[in-house]
Amino acid sequence: MNKELAIDAEDITIAYHEKPVIWDVDFQVPPGIMMAIVGPNGAGKSTLLKGILGLVKLTAGKVGIFGDTYERQRKLVGYVPQRTGVDWDFPTTVLDVVLMGTYGRLGWIKRPGKTEIYQATEALEKVGMRDYSTRQISQLSGGQQQRVFLARALTQDAEIFLMDEPFQGVDAATERTIIAILKELKHAGKTVVAVHHDLQTVPEYFDWVTLLNVRRIAGGPVKEIFTNENLRKTYGGKLSFLEEKESSSPVEITPSKGEQP
Amino acid sequence: MIFLADYTLKIVALGSALLGIVAGSLGTFAVLRKQSLLGDSISHAALPGIVLAFMITGSKSSLILLLGAAVAGWIGSYFILGIIRHSRISSDGAQGVILSVFFGIGLLLLTYIQSQPNAAQAGLDKYLFGQAAALLKEDLWITVIFGTVAIICMALFWKEFKLMTFDPIYGQSLGFSERATDLMITALIVIAIVTGLSTVGVILMSSMLIAPASAARQWTNKMGAMVVLSAFFGALGGVAGALLSSLIPNLPTGPAIVLCLTAIVILSLLLSPNRGILARSAQRYRNRFAFSLQKLLLDLYHLEENHTDGERAHSIKTISLIRSREGNIRIALQALESNNWATQTDEKLWTLTQDGRIQAEKLLNKGEENL
């Protein structure tokens, strides 16, 4: 395993039943970049993240985090799961949820103290939610829920941040806040990997991209990899985004659907 | 005789209170983990354990029978978790199957030994519906010891239990084992159930777990407060039910406690301040009234706009003609007046105040922004 790489995953295959969700994927992330994982529904994007985090069993392959196994490097990785995965009517406060980010460092039984509360409050400040720290979590909007989850990951004080659809169903203001924080993390030398849905914003938000559809179609710097040809390979040509992109750039061949310019 | 009755009552009340505290506080986790049926399955699965423990040892000591119950309940829940993990059967299916199979075996064994000429078996059937009047000091000690251990465990692993109940996937990514916390929480629930079997019985025991926690959820948004409140409700329902059953002859304790708990749940559902049904419908009513006031304000505003000749005040009759909403117009107008948005002229005509006009314009602008 390569010590220079933030994430070095080789030959990853994940299968829940007979059909593999992820097939023989090599996934390498150099440190200090922002990478989007892009692909159609059911392409295995979330599953790949979960595989790296050891949340689902790998059928084959191995994962290295800065040259060692995830179990040993756990503290270097912060995770932002999809916010729809939890019950937001759970009886707890915003601060309590953010404090959970410190639990891994604390280990079993030990309780969060002043230092942890300070860190959690600082993280809430960063995502613009400090005034909400005593709020019950059921009162939050979708965007606020996402900010809380991001704040929770920030308190992990990690080197690598893995995020599952951080922009799913959030308002424009939250999207701007989140992307500003992610860019800040990148400037601080951290590595960010996010499952992303909106192809339009990929070049604006990210500098690297991995195109995934069960197999890894392509991966690398956005400028080289985010091409129509690669996107077509990933999405199988059924993509309105491609048509827009093509019709807006005169160099490209006009789409076949008889839309004469 | 009076002294004896008093003594029994004391034991009964104390025993049910302790049981309510243990079951109520641990039940919080069953409810928050959406595993209410798990408690039901475990308590039903305990029956064959009780009967088998008696058949093997020939003893009717509570401790031995309850150990049998705990082992059977534990095996039952282990099967349930195993079925969920290794098959495509969903959790309610797995729980339903285990519940009925174990309970069926328990009833079969119970009927079998009841048909035997051995007189010693008499009284085992009290574990079906519970018999608080038959509680002994020994039973109390069992509840105290098991309950204390369970509550100390809960306090010790509070942080982990909370994390793994709220977001187990994230918890695992931090390195906490979901399997370990699952097993621990299930073990604690088994303990809570087993300590209540002689008082409440296997059939209704799960409501001792679920009812107090569901009621407590209505009153608080904090998990710690929910546990304390749930323990209190459990104790309250337990004592009330147990006393009721020892005062009324032939009333089994289990159903009596469940009825008292049900009363607490119903009151909580109706009366709690934020989540309660009454509070919610009051809130809906207030919202509707506020909305109808805004509508009336706008109606008055438009009426003014149409009368450019300076004739700004209108009678109630005119206003009600153009009004698009129903409801008592006098009350609505008076509400506008108390907000300082409208005023009544000497000729009993209504007109907007300057404040009211500003307010109406604000509303209009907001409406356009939303479009």
CATH number of the CATH domain containing B307: 1.10.10.10
Domain containing B248 equals: 2-275
Asked if residue B291 and residue B169 are part of one domain, the reply reads no
B157–A109 CB contact, under 8 Å: yes
Residue B342: the pLDDT is: 80
Distance from CA of A92 to the nearest CA of B (A): 5
Distance CA B222, CA A136 (A): 8
CATH number at B140 reads 1.10.3470.10
Asked if residue B258 and residue B318 are part of one domain, the reply reads no
Distance CA B231, CA B210 (A): 11
Asked if residue B80 and residue B15 are part of one domain, the reply reads yes
Residue B157: the pLDDT is: 96
Residues of B in contact with A50 (CB under 8 A): 169
Of B157, B167, B221, the CB nearest to A86: B167
Of B32, B169, B176, the CB nearest to A81: B169
Distance from CA of B92 to the nearest CA of A (A): 19
Q: Are B312 and B352 in contact, with CB atoms under 8 Å apart?
A: yes
Asked if residue B359 and residue B261 are part of one domain, the reply reads no
pLDDT digits (tens, 9 = 90+) for A80-95: 999 999 999 999 999 9
Asked if residue B218 and residue B112 are part of one domain, the reply reads yes
Residue B353: the pLDDT is: 79
Residue B325: the pLDDT is: 59
B222–A93 CB contact, under 8 Å: yes
Asked if residue B154 and residue B62 are part of one domain, the reply reads yes
Tell me how many residue pairs between chain A and chain B have CB atoms under 8 A apart: 77
Q: Is the pLDDT of residue A249 over 80?
A: no
Task: Please return the burial class of A250, using the count of CB atoms within 10 Å of its CB with bins 0-12, 13-18 and 19+.
Answer: exposed
B173–A138 CB contact, under 8 Å: no
ipTM for the complex shown = 0.89
Residue A250: the pLDDT is: 40
pLDDT digits (tens, 9 = 90+) for A197-215: 888 899 999 999 999 999 9
Asked if residue B323 and residue B198 are part of one domain, the reply reads no
Chain B residues within 8 angstroms (CB to CB) of chain A: 32, 34, 156-160, 162-163, 165-167, 169-176, 217, 220-223, 225-226
Distance CA A79, CA B174 (A): 9
| Residue in B99, B9, B113, B84 with CA at minimum distance from that of residue B45 | B99
Residue B25: the pLDDT is: 95
Distance from CA of B33 to the nearest CA of A (A): 10
Residue A255: the pLDDT is: 41
DSSP secondary structure, B23-92, as one string: HHHHHHHHHHTT-HHHHHHHHHHHHHHHHHHHHHH----HHHHHHHHHHHHHHHHHHHHHHHHHSS--HH
Q: Which residue's structure tokens are 């009333």?
A: B251
Q: Which residue's structure tokens are 């004896």?
A: B4
Residues of B in contact with A54 (CB under 8 A): 172-173
Domain boundary among B275, B299, B328: B275
Q: Is the pLDDT of residue A238 over 70?
A: no
| Residue in B223, B184, B274, B259 with CA at minimum distance from that of residue A96 | B223
pLDDT category, A254, cuts 50, 70, 90?
very low
Mean pLDDT of chain A: 87
Distance CA A17, CA A26 (A): 21
Distance CA A34, CA A183 (A): 8
Distance CA B213, CA B202 (A): 19
Domain boundary among B243, B259, B275: B275
Asked if residue B257 and residue B363 are part of one domain, the reply reads no
| Residue in B19, B34, B10, B46 with CA at minimum distance from that of residue B257 | B19
Of B158, B170, B225, the CB nearest to A79: B170
Number of domains in chain B: 2
Asked if residue B165 and residue B68 are part of one domain, the reply reads yes
Distance CA A190, CA A158 (A): 8
Least confident of A146-150, A159-163, B350-354: B350-354
Q: Helix (H, G, I), strand (E, B), or coil: what is residue B313?
A: coil
Domain boundary among B249, B275, B301: B275
Alpha helices by DSSP H, listed for B201-328, are 205-219, 223-247, 253-271, 277-306, 316-322
Least confident of A176-180, A222-226, B124-128, B348-352: B348-352
A152–B170 CB contact, under 8 Å: yes
Q: Is the pLDDT of residue A223 over 60?
A: yes
Chain length of chain A: 261
Residue B120: the pLDDT is: 67
Residue B310: the pLDDT is: 59
Q: Helix (H, G, I), strand (E, B), or coil: what is residue B204?
A: coil
3-state secondary structure A234-250: HHCCCCHHHHHHHHHCC
Asked if residue B318 and residue B267 are part of one domain, the reply reads no
Contact residues for A189 (Cβ-Cβ < 8 A; gap 6+): A31, A32
Residue B4: the pLDDT is: 47
Distance CA B308, CA B331 (A): 28
Residue of A nearest to B213 (CA): A91
Asked if residue B358 and residue B320 are part of one domain, the reply reads yes
Q: Which residue's structure tokens are 């890894």?
A: A216
Asked if residue B286 and residue B170 are part of one domain, the reply reads no
B166–A97 CB contact, under 8 Å: yes
Each residue's pLDDT tens digit in chain B (371 positions)? 444 457 778 888 888 899 999 999 999 999 999 888 888 999 999 999 999 999 999 888 888 998 999 999 999 988 988 898 888 888 889 999 999 999 999 999 999 888 887 766 677 888 888 887 778 888 888 889 999 999 999 999 999 999 999 999 999 999 999 989 988 999 999 999 988 888 888 988 999 999 999 999 999 999 999 999 999 999 999 999 988 887 888 888 888 999 999 999 999 999 988 888 898 888 888 888 888 888 888 877 877 777 666 566 777 777 777 665 566 777 788 788 887 788 777 777 777 777 877 878 888 776 654 44
